Each structure stands twice: as C-alpha cells, then as structure tokens.
Structure 1
Amino acid sequence: MELKKPLWDTKELTDFKNQFLCGDCLTTMKKIPSESIDLIVTSPPYNLKNSTGNGMKDGRGGKWSNASLINGYSHHDDCMPHEEYVSWQRDCLTEMFRLIKDDGAIFYNHKWRVQAGLLQDRQDIVSGFPVRQIIIWRRKGGINFNKGYFLPTYEVIYLICKPKFVLAKGANAHGDIWEFTQEMKNQHPAPFPVALIDRIISSTNAKLVLDPFMGSGTTAISAKKQGRDFIGIEISPEYVELAKKRLDDSLRTPTLF
C-alpha cells in the first residue's frame, strides 16, 4: 500500500514566508513543515456569541451594543457549541505545537469569562499542553452591566513552549502583568494592539513568526518592523486585504526597532 505524503511535502517553506495565506487555519497549517516555525503569536475567535450572559448571542447588545463584534467576524459566526469549539481549539494548538522548533514557543491569547454563572477559564483547551507561564494582559477601559461579578479588565496569554525555549537577553526583566490600551482605530472587530505584539516578539530571538488567526495583520506588522519574517493565515478575504494595506502603510513609516 502506498503511503500518502504529508501535504507540506509539495511545498517549500519559502513559499509561505512573508505571505498572507487566505484559508482555513488547520488545513493551511498542515501544509507547513514540522518544526519550521520559531514563534507563534495568536488570538483565536473567542466563541462569544455562544454566551448566556452578554447579549452577543441573540443581538440584545448589552455591554456589546456599540461593539463591532455584535455583527460578528467575516466568514466566522463565532457561535459554536462549546464542546465543538474546545475540540477545534485543541486541534489548532496541536498543529501549532507540531510546527514550532525545539526551542520554539506559542503565545496563545484568550479570555476567561463567566458562562451560566460559572467561570470558564479555558483549562479545557490548554490542559495537557506544556504551559510554562500565564501572562496577564490588562486592558485599559471597559464596562460591565452584569451585577453578578466584577468588571473584567484583562485577557490571558498562555506561554506554551518546548523545553529549549528561552527569552531574548533582558526580556525577563518584564513582569507577567502587561498593560496596553486596546486598539480602537481598526476595522477588525477584535484587533491586537501593536504594542502588545511588539513586546512579545522583541522578547524572543525568533526569526520566523506565524499567526494562524492573522486578522488585520498586527503580528505581521510587528514582525516586519523588527526585521523578522512572518506567515499569516486568515480565513476572511476582507481581512487579508485589510492586513496587506495595514502592513504596506506601516512599512512607509520609520521603525523604532
């Protein structure tokens, strides 16, 4: 019986470098060679419309009434059954872990929330993966109309890495609580602040950075500003075009690195 070759056997890594690849993240990652990526920085859709408490699911709005996310993502409805969502994210992390080198790392940004009155802390997603550290991204601003719990002001970045990963020289001087203002002037409904990704990438020695949920291209912008290569995967053609434009615009301005 003839064995099927891995999808990436037909591709060279150079075919992917500094490209925005439009497609499903799992299918596309399977085309990339194992242990070829230095660093993965990403934040998946949070499945916010599958919610019991914030009005996202039925359009009531609540604290989200003026938010772009009330209209959802392009090409992703963000409303999967929870078990299906967890399985999808674990599959994504498994594929990411295959891709990073033996000194590579994944910075996986997510958000804890209260669902049906109980904390949903994402352990069902990250359990079993080698989480070395949790970094708190404290966002400036926010509002909460739910009387059952205090105002959520942070998101969580899981540092998932292989044993040989080390930080760049001097980066360990940063604490594990980071405060950055949310990105406000961006057409994407849930963009990263550039300064947050600058902190992550500059804290590593990575030469090639992957973001499998590239969105509006912030990871690519930060990588190129710091002289690193990137690979971006994004399912939405609209967001791919937005990312290309933002990257082109950013490269016309002087770099601080």
Structure 2
Amino acid sequence: MKLGELEINKVYSMDCVEGMRKIPDNSVDLVVTSPPYDSLRDYNGFSFDLHLTGTEIYRVLKDGGIAVMVIQDQTKDFGKSLTSFRTIIDWCDNIGFKLFETVIYRKHGTEGAWWTKRFRVDHEYMPIFLKGKRPQFFDKEPIKIPSKHGGKILTGSGNRKTNGETTSLVTRPINLTKCPGTVWDYLMAGDKNPLKRKHPAVFPDKIPLDFIQVFCPLGGIVLDPFMGSGSTAVAALKTQRNFIGFDISEEYVKISTDRINIEKSQPKLDF
C-alpha cells in the first residue's frame, strides 16, 4: 500500500521535510514524535527546522488529526531555552494548529552535574496539537488507570460555584478506573531493548502506544518524522495501525528497521 510516492510501514532515510513533501495532503491520522531538540544529545551533526517540520505535518494530517511532540528545554547559564514554548506558539499562531492539551511525561530524572544548584528534572512536555475543529478519533478507555477507591460508594462535597458556594453532597459509586488526567506516569516504563538503546535519546515505547490508542483509529496511519529507534513504528504494529517514518541518519534507520522486523514476527495484540 502506498501513501503518495511512499510505501507505508517503512522508515525512509531522508530529511523529514523532504520526505513529507512526498505525502499527499490530508492523509495521515496521527503524528507522534520527539525531535532532536536543543542539541541535548549527539545526533551525528544533523540539523532540522521545527517550523518547516510543523508546516508539513499540518499539511499531511487529516482534518481532526493530532500531532504529539515529546520535548524538553535545554538549561544554559541557569535559564531554560524555551524551545518547547516557542514551538507551541509558532505552530498555533503561524501554522494553524490548536493546542488540544499539554500532557506532562513524568519520569525518573537524574541529578546530573547540577544536582546542588537546581531541581532534578522529573518531566518532559508532550504538547498535543489539533488540526481542525475537533479530534476525528478519541478513545481514552485503553489508557485509564486504577481508581484509588474503585468499587466503593463514597460521599463528598459537590462542585464549587463561581460565587464561592458549593453544591449539595454527592453519594455515588466510584468507578474501578479513571482518566489519567494530564500527568502521565512512565516512572516504571523504561525499555531494556538492546537495539533501542543504541540510539542516544529514546522515550518509552508506551508513550506512542498510549497516544496511538487514544487518537488513531484501527487501520489508521501514524507518522513519525524523527523515527529514531523505531518506538512509534513498533507501537503502531502492536496496535494494528500502519506507520510511515523518516530519519536522516542511516544508522538509526537500520536500528528502527531491525526492531520493526522483529515486531512483525510477534503475535499481535487483540483489539
């Protein structure tokens, strides 16, 4: 199956902007990616343009499509680079996206060289961009988490009104699971895959897995412009979605392709 000039379920070794220009307008359901921001890792000297990347992502997404970015800011001379915030404003004000939400990726930070002079960084940002009026697909059931008091019947105060008063007490059963909210906990989601760890900067496979289940319909197409170690592709295959990806590094394309070939030989999840 082709997507414009390109085969789906394949990672291409090329600049992502050049690659996305080979993809038709309004043809991708979801983008999940982590750009090589702020030179926080060694990416073999390759460079990229986040504005041009966002412009092409917006073009290829379907109406109601979602783009998710995992990003953090470099600290230099005790100040943050603000790359994450500048990118969010640029993509919304100049490209046309809405900011659907910003989710916090909670992780175990490392003390690093700054441990006596700064707070340990236990998070990254995951801005969720929307093209169009509303998401074409949204299902958070697969990512719900256990409720602390699930199965109990509890009584509590109602909502607070704008005048400061509260509504009447409410008694109701507590659901077994609940929405994870906007702080997603990946504290125990480290991946020990030896192929994956050949890449200098990776995120847990569960991140794209979660976003794909929430925002991409079965059989849909997921794009990762900075495929890296292949986590987005592997998650797409696990969940019966299709993918297409780019990485300018042939070394990283080899890593991701090896992981994809292994995943294709594994039993699929039941959806």
- Cα deviations by residue, 1:73-131 (Å, 9 ceiling, x for unpaired): 2452x6xxxxxx7xx11221111111111110000110033233223332222214121
Is the 1:35–1:98 contact (alpha carbons within 8 Å) kept by the matching residues of 2? Answer: yes
2:140 and 2:185 mapped to 1: Cα distance? Answer: 21
1:167 aligns with one of 133, 138, 141: 138
2:31 and 2:250 mapped to 1: Cα distance? Answer: 21
User: Could you tell me which residue of structure 2 aligns to residue 126 of structure 1?
Assistant: 88
**Equivalent residue of 2:127, what SS?**
strand
User: Could you tell me which residue of structure 2 aligns to residue 220 of structure 1?
Assistant: 233
Q: CA RMSD in A?
A: 2.1
Sort the Cα spacing of 1:139 and 1:169 in 2 relative to 1 into closer, same or farther, 3 A.
closer
Counterparts in 2 of 1:147-226, with a 5 A limit? 147-162=116-131, 163-165=133-135, 166-168=137-139, 170=141, 173-180=179-186, 181-184=189-192, 185=194, 186-206=197-217, 207-226=220-239
Is the 2:104–2:183 contact (alpha carbons within 8 Å) kept by the matching residues of 1? Answer: yes
- Cα deviations by residue, 1:137-163 (Å, 9 ceiling, x for unpaired): 111242232133200111111100122
Structure 1 spans left out of the alignment, 5+ residues: 1-10, 50-68, 79-84
Structure 2 spans left out of the alignment, 5+ residues: 93-97, 145-178
Is the 2:229–2:253 contact (alpha carbons within 8 Å) kept by the matching residues of 1? Answer: yes
- Cα deviations by residue, 1:180-236 (Å, 9 ceiling, x for unpaired): 234354211112211111111111234000000001111110001111010011111
1:205 and 1:240 mapped to 2: Cα distance? Answer: 24
Q: Say which one has the larger Rg.
A: 2
User: Could you tell me which residue of structure 1 aligns to residue 107 of structure 2?
Assistant: 139
1:256 and 1:139 mapped to 2: Cα distance? Answer: 26
2:72 and 2:101 mapped to 1: Cα distance? Answer: 15
1:241 and 1:16 mapped to 2: Cα distance? Answer: 17
Q: TM-score, normalised by structure 1?
A: 0.77
1:183 and 1:150 mapped to 2: Cα distance? Answer: 25
Counterparts in 2 of 1:98-137, with a 5 A limit? 98-121=59-82, 122-128=84-90, 129=92, 130-137=98-105
Q: CA deviation at 1:31?
A: 1.3
2:259 and 2:216 mapped to 1: Cα distance? Answer: 24
1:16 aligns with one of 7, 26, 39: 7
Q: TM-score, normalised by structure 2?
A: 0.73
Sort the Cα spacing of 1:14 and 1:224 in 2 relative to 1 into closer, same or farther, 3 A.
farther
1:48 aligns with one of 39, 44, 56: 39
Pairing 1:28–2:19 present: yes
Sort the Cα spacing of 1:12 and 1:43 in 2 relative to 1 into closer, same or farther, 3 A.
closer
User: Could you tell me which residue of structure 2 aligns to residue 243 of structure 1?
Assistant: 256
2:6 and 2:38 mapped to 1: Cα distance? Answer: 32
Pairing 1:73–2:43 present: yes
2:45 and 2:79 mapped to 1: Cα distance? Answer: 29
User: Could you tell me which residue of structure 2 aligns to residue 38 of structure 1?
Assistant: 29
